[in-house]
Amino acid sequence: MLLKGSCHCQAVTFSVRSHHPYPFNLCYCSVCRKTAGGGGFAINLSGKSKTLNVEGDEHISIYRAVINGEQSTGERHFCKHCATALWVYDPDWPELVHPFASAIDTDLPIPPERTHIMLGSRADWVEVSAQPQDKCFDEYPDESLAEWHQRLGLES
Task: Name the site residues for Zn ion (rule: CB under 5 A).
Answer: 7, 9, 11, 27, 29, 32, 79, 81-82
Tell me how far CA of residue 68 lies from CA of 27, 31, 41, 65, 72, in angstroms: 17, 12, 20, 10, 9
Question: Which lies closer to Zn ion via its Cβ, residue 57 or residue 132?
Answer: 57
> Least distance (Å) from Zn ion to the CB of residue 153?
27
Question: Which lies closer to Zn ion via its Cβ, residue 27 or residue 97?
Answer: 27
For residue 150, give the H/E element and its range. helix 145-151
- 28 in Cβ contact with 117 (< 8 Å): yes
d(CA 140, CA 147): 14
- 145 in Cβ contact with 25 (< 8 Å): yes
Question: Which lies closer to Zn ion via its Cβ, residue 139 or residue 147?
Answer: 139
> Least distance (Å) from Zn ion to the CB of residue 41?
8
> Least distance (Å) from Zn ion to the CB of residue 49?
19
> Least distance (Å) from Zn ion to the CB of residue 31?
5
